[in-house]
Structure 1
Amino acid sequence: MKNILKLFILSFVISLTSCEDFLDKTPLDEVSETDFYSTPAELRVAVNSFYRDLPTWANAGVGSSALPDNGTDLVMNQTPSDRLLGIYTIPTASTAAIWSWDEVREANWFLDHTNQASGNQTDIDQYTGEGYFFRAYYYFNLLVDYGDLPIFEQYFDNTNEEFVFAARDPRNEVTDFILSDLDTAISLLKSFPDLGSWPRVSKEAAQLFKARVALFEGTWEKYHSDTDFGVLGSDGTSYLEIAANAAESVIDGGVFTLHNDYESLFNTSGLSGNSEMILWRDYNWQDLGIGNDLQISWPNNCSYSRFAIRSYLCTDGDPISVSPLYVGDQDLSTIETNRDPRLAATIMVPGDIIRLDNGTATLWTVPFLDNAFGGYESQKYRDYNYDDTDADNFTRSTSKIAMRYAEALLIFAEAKAELETITQADLDKSINLLRARVGMPGITLGSITQDPDWPNYGYTLTDILYEVRRERSVELMAEGFRLNDLLRWRAHELFNGDTPLGAYFLDGIVENGTNDPNILLDGDDYLDPYQTYGAFDFDESKAYLKALPLDELKLNPNLDQNPGW
């Protein structure tokens, strides 16, 4: 284990070159309180270490960095999710990924020492605000997984029994604590234009994250109100109002606008200067060896589901179930015809570029079913530019988006629709801007086309909510939001009893020069790669939250297990 002082020094060196690190976490009580935190520069060095916990591409070394949303109803991997299949195991002990409080402890240690710094107060406030943002970020991840949590507002060691044996606080109190941290962060952080070129947390990032947290809890409490996962006496209204207001603050602030090219958002090396980017991670493989493995053996063992592809509207603004423009989905060469252009930016079809080498293009012809076994390979995140300075001959510097302006527009519209206060003006300043970017017709309240194939969430929604959810699914496809959306919407009926299907399998389709006799199909000849696993059997009585480890329950008698476990 590295001494935390070395971690901070390494973080400082890395911050100078605008790259990321993957460092071991260490006991925080090994550091002397007088060694750091005395100047704004030292606060910056310390808080930089938190940035490594933002969403990233796996650096696996073999090109298997899975698409975000993998394992949901939208993105399929080689094997389905145990959680969706109904295979559950209560963990024995906590780990770095199970009931882990390491990150919260690190944030608390930092926040307990920021008052030691002297110097430029604006800079001290910025880095302190980043500390509050990251504590909220860590707590929110724990809230999504476990619900009720003990609230720790300060650092403590294993001798402080008050904290070591703390009970769990109700999830709404935890949410209030997270939102309070974000309010503090908002009051301290600089606005995005006042930050340097390195992507740091800004006031607007904290506002957007506040909206994200409040939308999650508001819809969770609304749709779980009559279950063991709900909050007694709450329907989520207050949080939905907070979500709408926080998202509107980002919108009305005027700092960000939608980038004019949807596709280029996801296959770019370096996002500085992009008008839509609020927070992101850049990579530099050629110069620093800091990169991702998206391009080595693409499509990285993932593919989109048929349900995902059928969510995209036709160019007349109507769903495929009723639009006369729909030409079907049994031929990949025409599946994008008359469809929302975001579909073409998402999947590969014949004629798309796989590699561009000095003006010579290698074109995609058929799915590589060994990896994209659902047939719908991803165009999103694919950079086809050949780079002969890279041993793997593809760029490995594709940036990773953590927050973009489009999310603020979607949260605003959804929160207002859930509150049943949404107006045409609200749509015109949010979702209709997303549609206009890609040349799609906007939504007109009172004139929404009824879709006979609207998703079955297990309950009925208003027409506008169906369309808002569709828009969120399409705009944020494979960006890592889907599982949380399914959880907060209590949407198990959407996928329970089903297996995700892939593309239509044309007779005689050839990949790598041979026919595969082991291809699994459903009765209508659509790829059915999960057929041998059986239908999803999500246990709604417990699977909405994860189980606490058994050892933790034994060590702390004040902890209680989550419902159903």
Structure 2
Amino acid sequence: MKSNYKYIFKTLMAMSIAVATTSCEDFLDREPMSTISPETYFSTAAQLEANLNDEYPNILPSFGQWGYGVFGEDKGTDNQIEVTANDRYTADRWKVPHSESDNWKFERIYRVNFFLSETLPKFGDDISGAKNTISGSIPTIKHYIGEMYFLRAYEYFKKLQLFGDFPIIETPLADDATALREASKRAPRNEVARFILADLDKAYSYMSDVDLATTRINKDLAMLVKSRVALFEGSWLKNFKGTAFVPGGEGWPGAKIYSNYQYPSGSIDNEVKYFLEQAVAAAKIVGDKYKGSLTQNTGVLQQSATDPANPYFDMFAQEDLSKVSEVLLWRQYARGLATHNINSAAGRGNYRIGLTRGLVQNFLMKDGTPVYTHGTYANGDGYYMGDKTIADVKANRDSRLSIFLKEPGQKNILFETDNNEGTEAVMVEPYPSITNGDGERGYATGYALRKGGSFNRKHYANGGGYTAAVCFRAVEALLNYMEASYMLTGTLDATAREYWTAIRQRANISTDIDKTIAATNMSMEAENDWGAYTAGAILTDKTLYNIRRERRCEFMAEGIRYMDLRRWRSMDQLVSTPSHLEGMHLWNTPMESWYLNSQGQTILVADGSNQANVSSKDKSEYLRPFERTSSQAAYNGCTWKMAHYLNPIMVKQFQLTATSGSDVSTSILYQNPFWPVVADQTAEK
């Protein structure tokens, strides 16, 4: 029956859109739903579930967020790069769109609002459901309502990250130009964040009476995401204080609407405190519950079918995560029905997206000390073995690096080795194919991850992978607490130390946190990590930096790096000092000999021409994927414009909300800082 409800709903949705389309819809990317009969489609728990199931893949993260996924948010940062620089790291390639399907989009928000507007009156006036007329279990109905509040919150959080100030819309709107224009008014970003937190509190309350499978949203997840949102906004307001990127800051474009804006808490400092306190409280609820349930990491990469498995590795490479306590939400795939290519990517060169040298060097040694305390990066002192081979760079390191960084000669497949469905399986890891221009089989930096790759050949059918996607992990709550509480008090309290110790024990590195902090040299860290900067200045606080380092290492390729870099304001220095992102140590190392033809001649071309397949040794002994040919966008390094911390709003939206024809100056909207309201133009600064 569930599939029938889903089909009927989607069919009638399409019909209603087809017959009700008007010129007003484009104001807010509106989808009229008034022709759907609420008596028919919001009357049972099963119908609510069917509606929810339609929204899950459109709103929630899955493999697309991974560093080598299509929309990965680690890809295109100082963690992972392709062979072409992202437009945001250029001065002239990111431009204001005229119209773009994913820019300023409200479709999902309207779907959620329609669901809530039809469901809540039937459920009753309060959370108890005393007047409920929807058939089914009350706790289950409440849970589904809570899930939809969560989905609205998460969709709004995506908008907050992209645009900052954003319209707050809680109900479906009439198809009226005046009403839609007024609804387009952007709310200050901190009020958007408060709205998100309120939705997450509602989600938590509604879902509090029942625990469903972790393939569904749950109350613990609501608190985890609350801690993420609150930490994001608190750190954004703190780090951008006084600028055009926060309400009331100098040049804030929102002054067009809010000329004398007052923060709900009285000041921006109080607002920072409010959000950080919210982050601490929410993170502790989840952290205390799961701190003893982190998935075990043996620290060893399995290399034989008879060897013990590493549960931490397998957490990212199995079909069913229902018994993995740390995973709060996961997406299930099914052979022949819902599949992906993450296994194939992890089994080759990550679809030509590689780890940067900066990330590799940022991982600590097992004894908790930074790499640079053990000789030079290239040679080491015998404990750190140097970086002249991939095997050396992994030795005696944080096990999160040693088990996930691929090494030539390792076995990629251990189970069902004769399964012919595994058409994309590479049985033994080869030398990284850095000269291969194939987007699926080439290697970008020489450093490739096996995170997300299964050891079973059955998962390697072309386009046919069906291992589960980890969407959210409880360990994030521990990290969110550590950072938020430290930002509030300037000290590591007992809870933060307890959480940090648990994370480092799981990573198989020394739990002597103070030793790490004392050994940290921020000038050295700044060479490898954009996160060593805030507002263009190298951090002086080594404790806060090491919390940032821990996040970077724990969540590599899991899609949150760009979010962190923006809230930390970690790209300012690129405005004046371009960054040269590098990969493995290619030149003047044994690895250079990996690239000889059968006659013993090198296949490396490093002359800067259009035929070049690697960067020149005159630039660096380390491979620089963006600096192979002089025509590449970031050939002279990655740069930045301040405007790039937020996305521009498309020009079409200004035209649609204008009160005088298409005169954009009469729109109720305002553009994000330093972006013009002219299509195909770059940011001013």
Q: Same fold (TM over 0.5)?
A: yes
When the two structures are superposed, what TM-score results if normalisation uses the length of structure 1? 0.89
Q: CA deviation at 1:46?
A: 1.2
Q: CA deviation at 1:67?
A: 5.3
The 2-side partners of 1:254 and 1:38 are apart by 36
Judging changes above 3 Å, is the alpha-carbon distance between structure 1 residues 445 and 10 closer, same or farther for their aligned structure 2 residues?
A: farther
Q: Does residue 383 of structure 2 align to residue 318 of structure 1?
A: no
Judging changes above 3 Å, is the alpha-carbon distance between structure 1 residues 447 and 9 closer, same or farther for their aligned structure 2 residues?
A: closer
How do 1:531-546 and structure 2 match up within 5 A? 531=627, 532-533=632-633, 534=635, 535-540=637-642, 542-546=643-647
Q: CA deviation at 1:564?
A: 0.3
Q: Match for 2:40: what amino acid?
A: D
Partner of 2:259: none
Partner of 1:17: none
Over 6 Å off, 4+ runs: 511-514
Partner of 2:81: 76
Which deviates more, 368-377 or 131-140?
368-377
Q: Match for 2:63: what amino acid?
A: W
Q: Does residue 186 of structure 2 align to residue 168 of structure 1?
A: yes
Contact 1:158 1:164 (C-alpha < 8 Å) held by counterparts = no
Name which of 642, 647, 650 aligns with 1:549.
650
Corresponding residue SS for 2:145: helix
How do 1:373-392 and structure 2 match up within 5 A? 373-387=444-458, 391-392=461-462
The 2-side partners of 1:516 and 1:64 are apart by 28
Name which of 302, 320, 323 aligns with 1:273.
323
Corresponding residue SS for 1:280: strand
How do 1:146-295 and structure 2 match up within 5 A? 146-159=163-176, 161-166=178-183, 167-190=185-208, 194-197=210-213, 199-232=215-248, 233-235=267-269, 236-254=272-290, 257-261=293-297, 262-285=312-335, 288-295=336-343
Corresponding residue SS for 1:6: helix
Q: Does residue 566 of structure 2 align to residue 530 of structure 1?
A: no
Corresponding residue SS for 2:330: strand
RMSD after superposition: 2.7
Judging changes above 3 Å, is the alpha-carbon distance between structure 1 residues 308 and 212 closer, same or farther for their aligned structure 2 residues?
A: same
The 1-side partners of 2:432 and 2:653 are apart by 46
Q: CA deviation at 1:350?
A: 2.4
Q: Deviations over 1:178-211 (max 9, x none)?
A: 11111111111146xx433361111100000100
The 1-side partners of 2:8 and 2:593 are apart by 56
Partner of 2:517: 448
Corresponding residue SS for 1:333: helix
Contact 2:362 2:525 (C-alpha < 8 Å) held by counterparts = no
Q: Match for 2:340: what amino acid?
A: N
Judging changes above 3 Å, is the alpha-carbon distance between structure 1 residues 150 and 290 closer, same or farther for their aligned structure 2 residues?
A: same
The 2-side partners of 1:223 and 1:321 are apart by 29
The 1-side partners of 2:243 and 2:78 are apart by 23
Q: Does residue 597 of structure 2 align to residue 501 of structure 1?
A: no
Q: Deviations over 1:279-330 (max 9, x none)?
A: 1111112xx4211012345321211000010110001100001135211112
Q: Deviations over 1:53-99 (max 9, x none)?
A: 2112359xxx975755111111011311101223221111241x110
Judging changes above 3 Å, is the alpha-carbon distance between structure 1 residues 10 and 253 closer, same or farther for their aligned structure 2 residues?
A: farther
The 1-side partners of 2:11 and 2:512 are apart by 50
Q: Match for 1:181: what amino acid?
A: D
Judging changes above 3 Å, is the alpha-carbon distance between structure 1 residues 384 and 85 closer, same or farther for their aligned structure 2 residues?
A: farther
Contact 1:73 1:500 (C-alpha < 8 Å) held by counterparts = yes
The 2-side partners of 1:451 and 1:290 are apart by 46
The 2-side partners of 1:440 and 1:499 are apart by 30
Q: CA deviation at 1:493?
A: 4.0
Corresponding residue SS for 1:448: helix
Judging changes above 3 Å, is the alpha-carbon distance between structure 1 residues 178 and 58 closer, same or farther for their aligned structure 2 residues?
A: closer
Q: Percent identity?
A: 30
Q: CA deviation at 1:171?
A: 0.6
The 2-side partners of 1:476 and 1:539 are apart by 26
The 1-side partners of 2:579 and 2:291 are apart by 43
Name which of 470, 481, 488 aligns with 2:567.
488
Contact 1:8 1:49 (C-alpha < 8 Å) held by counterparts = no
Name which of 138, 142, 145 aligns with 2:162.
145
The 2-side partners of 1:211 and 1:265 are apart by 23
Q: CA deviation at 1:30?
A: 3.8
Contact 1:105 1:155 (C-alpha < 8 Å) held by counterparts = yes
Q: Deviations over 1:414-465 (max 9, x none)?
A: 1112113543522333121111012211243487223231234123241210
Corresponding residue SS for 2:228: helix
Contact 1:278 1:404 (C-alpha < 8 Å) held by counterparts = yes
Name which of 306, 316, 329 aligns with 2:387.
329
Which deviates more, 333-342 or 520-529?
520-529
Q: Match for 2:542: what amino acid?
A: D
Q: Which runs of 5+ in 1 are unaligned?
A: 12-24
Name which of 474, 477, 482 aligns with 1:413.
482
Contact 1:279 1:403 (C-alpha < 8 Å) held by counterparts = yes
Contact 2:227 2:278 (C-alpha < 8 Å) held by counterparts = yes
Name which of 665, 674, 682 aligns with 1:564.
674
Structure ID, larger Rg:
2
Q: Match for 1:90: what amino acid?
A: V
Partner of 1:88: 94
Q: Does residue 164 of structure 2 align to residue 113 of structure 1?
A: no
Which deviates more, 104-113 or 196-205?
196-205
Partner of 2:556: 477
Q: Match for 2:585: what amino acid?
A: Y
The 1-side partners of 2:62 and 2:646 are apart by 24
The 2-side partners of 1:545 and 1:223 are apart by 14
Partner of 1:430: 499
Q: Which runs of 5+ in 2 are unaligned?
A: 13-29, 123-132, 249-266, 298-311, 375-380, 419-425, 437-441, 527-531, 606-612, 658-666, 676-685
Q: Does residue 108 of structure 2 align to residue 57 of structure 1?
A: no
Corresponding residue SS for 1:321: helix
Q: Match for 1:206: what amino acid?
A: A
The 1-side partners of 2:354 and 2:156 are apart by 31
Contact 1:366 1:511 (C-alpha < 8 Å) held by counterparts = no
Q: Match for 2:639: what amino acid?
A: D
How do 1:4-19 and structure 2 match up within 5 A? 6=7, 8=9
The 1-side partners of 2:625 and 2:515 are apart by 40
Q: Deviations over 1:458-496 (max 9, x none)?
A: 232412101000000000111100111111000004655
Partner of 2:44: 39
Contact 2:615 2:623 (C-alpha < 8 Å) held by counterparts = yes
Which deviates more, 355-364 or 145-154?
355-364
Contact 1:509 1:515 (C-alpha < 8 Å) held by counterparts = no
The 1-side partners of 2:622 and 2:653 are apart by 46
The 1-side partners of 2:43 and 2:653 are apart by 37
Q: CA deviation at 1:512?
A: 8.8
Q: Match for 1:508: what amino acid?
A: S
Q: Does residue 382 of structure 2 align to residue 364 of structure 1?
A: no
Q: CA deviation at 1:403?
A: 0.7
The 1-side partners of 2:44 and 2:245 are apart by 45
Contact 1:58 1:293 (C-alpha < 8 Å) held by counterparts = no
Which deviates more, 330-339 or 225-234?
225-234
Q: Deviations over 1:317-375 (max 9, x none)?
A: 00001135211112112111111011023210123222235468932131122221210
Q: Match for 2:511: what amino acid?
A: G
Q: Deviations over 1:114-160 (max 9, x none)?
A: 13242432112111111110110111101110111111011114326
Which deviates more, 357-366 or 250-259?
357-366
Contact 1:319 1:451 (C-alpha < 8 Å) held by counterparts = yes
The 1-side partners of 2:205 and 2:69 are apart by 41
Q: Match for 2:398: what amino acid?
A: D
Judging changes above 3 Å, is the alpha-carbon distance between structure 1 residues 445 and 319 closer, same or farther for their aligned structure 2 residues?
A: closer
Q: Does residue 366 of structure 2 align to residue 308 of structure 1?
A: no
